[in-house]
A and B are shown apart, each in its own frame.
Chain A
Amino acid sequence: MKKHSLIRTGLKITGLLLTVLTFMIIYLPILIILVMSINDSTRGFGWEGFTLKWYMALIVPSAYPEMTALPNLIAAIIDTLSVAVLSTIIATILGTLFAIGINAMNKKRRVRMVVMNNIPIVNPDIVTGISLLIIFSLLSFSLSFYTVLIAHIFFSIPYVVLSVLPKLKKLDPNMYEAGLDLGCSRASGIWKVIIPNISTGILAGALLAFTMSIDDFVITYFTSGDEYLNVSTWLYTVLKHPRHFTPAVYAYNVIIFVITIIIIIFINNVRERKEKITHEKTI
């Protein structure tokens, strides 16, 4: 018995140490980004004192001549956010409908559809990017904002489907039929009966789609022409050509980071409260 508890303690300590190591290596770059965002150095070669000017530069870019430089970071941020918002909305709507359809199938067909759904998730980004590049060329779409938008919808839908499906599974199938019996049309049956019950899944899917979209590099890189840059492809260019670099991109990253954390905490609180209420109801 004693030997066992010794092994246990040993394993526990190893686990703890490795967990600490894990957090250290994944947070180290985040710390660097944070420090760079408040570092008063344009080229970022070392610490040159505290400043908030990179945050100001994002808020009032016109006051900072370096922000008008080409290729332009502000334009890249606007392009990133526009694609992220539009692709999230479209992918969430389509993905939810697809998931509702998949959920209504028998088990065999459902599994087949889920397998198909997972292709873009497992496929390396570079293969997805090339595939999309090829289909856009075949359809003679010239690479632009719109091809990037389609690409982002494409890679976001599977995540929405995967987030929504488990919630649908928990849903009582009779509820929808009951809704129809009570006089709902099919569409309003979905809207009034199904959607409210899977809203947390939809929200989670949307959030996932949004964060995937704003951070995407590889797929955007292969599906965008020269005229479209999102923050990632902008970074890839300016890291090679540092005269166009501005540390404001660190500030942008910190802002997005903080906003995402706030949204997650908010959603978690809402969800917990909701679960609490349903819990009390069932009691």
Chain B
Amino acid sequence: MKRLQRYSLPYIAWMTVFALIPSLFLILLAFSDLSLFDLGSFSLTLQNFSIIGLDTTLKAMQNSLEFALITAVICFLIGYPVALYLTTLKEKTRKILIALLIVPLWSNMLLRINAWEKIFTPSSIFTDIFGISFNLLGEDIAIIIAMVAMYLPFMIFPIFSVLEKLDIKLIEAAKDLGANDIQTFFRVIFPLSAGGIVSGTIMTFLPAMTAFALPQRISLGKTTFIGNIIESKFRTEVMDFNGVSINQGSMISLFLMLFSVTAFILIVRFDKEGETLI
């Protein structure tokens, strides 16, 4: 069996090429004037750092963090009770409901965003079906509703999977020791589901913070997220022959990576084997 270990060696090489090297290079790009498309001599510089101080960037960071935080909190407030409720159901119903939670994820994300545009538009197919008319496109609330709808399942799954595995004996022991339902919940169930909560929060917060298509579409371009700036730096401005846009974009991406590294450390602490990730 031990001999089989060698099958994982290429994986280390693979990850080095596609994850480690580009990350190191991203740092180099962020702190130098090296041109990605014309590798050659370069000098280290802190000049790209100035992009972080621009009003545009600061505002976008603020938007990303605020909306992601609100989304994650709402997802938690809805998702935890739902996960808990699901565990109280009969096994068959529970399985079906979990499956039904996964099913919508097989619809293309952009098409679902497009559907939300239709819902929030005053005169659209949604109005024709339900006879209700919203005029919410461009409003903050529309972004939040769409984000919650998009990411809520990712909060429910990990919490549900830890709750489902909770040892009933522990709960019964707590009750035998005289704890009431509320005490049992806050002293036993809730702390034991911390791993799921951490995964769920990360799986909703990070995608919400880095989203760019959803805010762009739902806010009618009024609300800029950090992802929109990165998109512009790596895709649009490159076409405008702007030489340093990649370096500036790398600098902003480094900022995002701070969050993913933090998230990563948390996940490693709470869920070493990644069991709550799928």
Contact = CB atoms under 8 A, between A and B. Distances in A.
Interface of A: 4, 7-8, 11-12, 14-16, 18-19, 21-23, 25-33, 35-36, 39, 44-47, 94, 97-98, 100-105, 111, 113-127, 130-135, 137-138, 150, 154, 157, 159, 162-163, 165-166, 173, 176-177, 186, 190, 208, 211, 215, 217-218, 221-222, 231-232, 235-236, 239, 249-250, 253, 256-257, 260-261, 264
A104 B5 contact: yes
Interface stretch (B45-53, B55-63, B116-124, B166-174): B116-124
Contacts of B227: 126
Nearest to B260: A123
A270 B251 CA distance: 50
B8 A101 contact: yes
Contacts of B149: 25-26, 28-29
Query: Which are the 6 A-B pairs with shortest beta-carbon distances?
Result: A101-B8, A15-B85, A101-B7, A29-B115, A131-B22, A124-B210
B15 to A, nearest CB: 6
Contact of B213 (A21, A157, A176, A217): A217
A35 B129 contact: yes
Nearest to A95: B11
Given A15-B82, A19-B82, A222 B128 contact: no
A135 B26 CA distance: 10
A157 B126 CA distance: 39
B187 interface: no
Nearest to A28: B119
Interface in B86-115: 86, 88, 97, 99-101, 103-112, 114-115
Contact of B108 (A97, A116, A190, A215): A215
Contacts of B86: 19
Contact of A114 (B17, B119, B273): B273
Contacts of A101: 4-9, 11
B85 A124 contact: no
Query: Would you call the interface of chain A mostly helix, strand, loop, or mixed?
Result: helix
Contacts of B263: 122
Contacts, number: 265
A253 B8 contact: no
20 contacts: A21-B78, A23-B100, A28-B115, A29-B107, A35-B129, A36-B118, A47-B128, A98-B11, A100-B7, A114-B274, A118-B267, A119-B19, A123-B260, A123-B264, A125-B210, A127-B253, A127-B257, A135-B25, A157-B11, A231-B108
Contacts of B189: none
Contacts of A123: 260, 264
A125 B119 CA distance: 27
Interface of B: 1-12, 14-15, 17-19, 21-23, 25-26, 29, 36-37, 39, 78-79, 81-82, 84-86, 88, 97, 99-101, 103-112, 114-116, 118-119, 123-129, 145, 148-149, 152-153, 156, 180-182, 202, 206-207, 209-210, 212-213, 217, 227, 230-231, 234-235, 249-250, 253, 256-257, 259-260, 263-264, 267-268, 272-275, 277-278
B107 A46 contact: no
B59 to A, nearest CB: 18
A122 to B, nearest CB: 5
A250 B231 CA distance: 26
A25 B148 contact: yes
B108 A119 contact: no
B100 A15 contact: no
Contact of A33 (B112, B231, B235): B112
Given A103-B4, A116-B11, A130-B250, 16 more contacts: A18-B85, A19-B86, A22-B101, A22-B152, A26-B101, A33-B115, A36-B125, A45-B125, A101-B7, A104-B8, A118-B264, A122-B267, A130-B230, A131-B23, A133-B234, A239-B114
A231 B217 CA distance: 17
B7 A98 contact: yes
Contact of B278 (A22, A137, A162, A257): A162
Contact of A7 (B105, B181, B207): B181
Contacts of A19: 82, 85-86, 97
A279 B128 CA distance: 53
A47 B124 CA distance: 8
A101 B4 CA distance: 5
Contacts of A236: 110, 213
Contacts of B259: 124
Contacts of A166: 275
